[in-house]
Amino acid sequence: MGKALVILNCVLLGIGNCGGPLMSRLYYNNGGKSVWLSSFLETGGFPLMLIPLLFCFLNRRRNHGRNSDGNAGVILMKPRLFMGAAVSGLLTGVDDYIYAYGLSFLPVSTASLIIASQLAFTAFFAFFLVKQKFTPFSINAIVLLTLGAGVLALHTASDIPANETKKQYVTGFVLTVGAAVLYAFVLPLIELSYKKARQTISYDVVLEFQFVMCFFATLFCFAGMLISGDFKMIPKEAETFQLGPSLYYVVLVGASLMWQCFFLGAIGVIFCASSLVSGILIAVLLPVTEVLAVVFYHETFSSEKGVSLVLSLWGFASYFYGEAKAGKAEKDGLIHEETEMGRLPGP
């Protein structure tokens, strides 16, 4: 069950990490202009979480009846963890808006590679918030993935979309970096919330955490849409959408589903491993997103993107080689310890 859960969350993270930016860019490419709506969609699919939560609740009732606290078991989260989810959600809402604003000015391939810089900031915050331990291989991976994102900043003129100015491009670049930094803080904050919860963290609790976090993030974006009046724009925007009104709503629903997969996968990987591993997987999947953007949206593949791609793949290989080596050393150590114990004379 443990390995299956890890694989499930990695798959969800992969689908969301690649599909979310592509769907959001599809919205902008075909006439969508509302940044608040785009940010709202990033967590707006949270009601879908009620389905697995219902199954988890019914399973608990069937197997255990009532939980150890004597409650009916509808909600497992305690107030301390609920507050952690609420704070993480509000920060995620801010991050959603900054990212959506930045993506409105950038090609998906460029935005995705910029997000790779998130890994260095995740490592920095993880070190101070959750005392993350590093190996030479993980440090090497962080440096390579961050350098890969930094290469893009050296030459940007050839990557500016035809309908945008250089000022808008630079604005999008800076905002996307800001979004990477903020979400890099949110990932270790979620891990810290788990550690400080003073309760057992099961996957049921992780699902509840996801629901509450996305609820508060969506609430923040919902307030922004009310203030800006973007709700009134939706019918008009649907009529002028280049793919047609019907596909306009399909794109909105599709984006919401993709981003929900991303957030569920991200916090699931934190539960199964750590915030650093979640950040590394996000960075590792960026080359896939870049290739898909080039295929579907015919975005340019410059030499800078090629260098960035190579550095990202090198960082990926470095990290997982280090993990495999550490795992083998640990396994060999356990075998050696068991062998030595077997040689000890009996009483």
How far apart CA 43 and CA 48 sit, in angstroms, is 11
Amino acid identity at 281:
L
How far apart CA 183 and CA 190 sit, in angstroms, is 11
Q: What are phi and psi of 215, to 5 degrees?
A: -60, -45
pLDDT of residue 239: 94
* Cβ(113)–Cβ(283) below 8 Å: no
Those residues whose C-beta lies under 8 Å from the C-beta of residue 169, and which sit 6 or more positions away, are 105, 106, 156, 159, 160, 161
DSSP state at residue 243: T
Taking every pair of Cα atoms in the chain, the longest distance, rounded to a whole number of angstroms, is: 85
Per the structure block, which two tokens stand in for 39? 């940010």
Q: Which helix (H) or strand (E) holds 276?
A: helix 275-284
pLDDT of residue 67: 47
How far apart CA 144 and CA 240 sit, in angstroms, is 43
Q: pLDDT tens digits, the chain, 347 residues: what are they?
A: 577 888 889 899 999 988 999 999 899 989 999 999 999 999 999 998 998 888 888 888 887 655 454 455 667 889 999 999 999 999 999 999 999 999 888 887 778 777 767 777 888 888 888 887 777 877 887 787 777 766 765 655 556 666 777 888 889 889 998 998 999 899 899 999 999 988 888 888 999 999 999 999 999 999 999 999 998 899 999 999 999 999 999 999 999 999 999 998 988 888 888 887 887 788 777 777 877 888 888 777 777 777 777 877 787 777 777 767 766 766 666 555 555 555 545 44
Amino acid identity at 238:
A
The residue among 81, 37, 77, 105 whose CA lies nearest residue 196 is 81
The residue among 123, 107, 177, 118 whose CA lies nearest residue 146 is 118
How far apart CA 170 and CA 150 sit, in angstroms, is 14
With 0-12 / 13-18 / 19 or more C-beta atoms within 10 angstroms meaning exposed / middle / buried, residue 65 is exposed
DSSP state at residue 345: P
Amino acid identity at 9:
N
Per the structure block, which two tokens stand in for 236? 């008009």
How far apart CA 141 and CA 119 sit, in angstroms, is 9
The residue among 99, 124, 127, 104 whose CA lies nearest residue 114 is 99
How many alpha carbons lie under 13 Å from residue 320 in its C-beta half-sphere? 10
Amino acid identity at 296:
F
How far apart CA 215 and CA 171 sit, in angstroms, is 29
How far apart CA 140 and CA 151 sit, in angstroms, is 17
* Cβ(215)–Cβ(3) below 8 Å: no
How many alpha carbons lie under 13 Å from residue 95 in its C-beta half-sphere? 25
Q: Tell me if residue 236 falls in helix, strand or coil.
A: helix
How far apart CA 114 and CA 108 sit, in angstroms, is 10
How far apart CA 304 and CA 246 sit, in angstroms, is 38
Give this prediction's pTM: 0.82
